[in-house]
Amino acid sequence: MRVAIAKFPGSNCDQDVAYAISRVPGAWSEVVWHTELSPERYELVVLPGGFSYADRLRAGAIAAHTPLIEKLIDYVKDGGLVLGICNGFQILVEAGLLLGSLLPNKGLRFICKWVSLRVMNSDTPFTNAFEEGEVVKMPIAHYEGRYYAGGQALRLFEERRVAFVYADERGGVSEECNPNGSDNSIAGVFNDTFNVLGMMPHPERASDPLLSPYGTEHGLRVFLSVANYVKGGA
């Protein structure tokens, strides 16, 4: 599996993603400056976390209008896979590649903590290594992470385009376990053809049990899922 990790001015999670990819058998990645990236050379393009263009205007707004995004639009139409993590998710919604927007967290505070997530759809290129309904742990670190679907959240659930929701350790969903006020506790969504995933939690930071306070590598399964799909095992 060939993976490109796009680097914008202000990206800071690219090497974390590269490390996670290095733990996937048969996968390799390279960090590519956004103006030099040719998506068609890769099976997966990752837009990593960070603060692209210092989050001026809105988080992800400037990066969403770079020439790379124009290339990604064609790449996605041709079936290419794109994963946006945190700031990458913000870029994808700003670019219109995913439905919705990401607003400042309730309480207007930066949040950095581990959260529980319930897997809502395991029949996709990004989630086939999970069990539907299982609860996994990944960390979040964001200020503008409150997902807003503009009244279309229920449609996303009906179309199975919700990847993860914030939950308690038993998978229950409530305001108490919704860290940022996202609509219906949504933590990650797909596009309508399921080849684009945007998620606020950081799977790359939950890809090595030595780095997890829970001793798990739940996040690694996002990348293992893509590898399964590329190999035809999904």
Please, are residues 45 and 81 in contact by the beta-carbon 8 Å criterion?
yes
CA distance 86 to 230: 24
CA distance 8 to 96: 18
| 6 token code pair | 């796009």
CA distance 217 to 98: 27
- Does an H or E element contain 142, and which? strand 135-142
Q: Which residues are catalytic?
A: 86, 202, 204
Closest by CA to 51, choosing from 41, 61, 42, 43, is 61
Strand partners, 113: 140
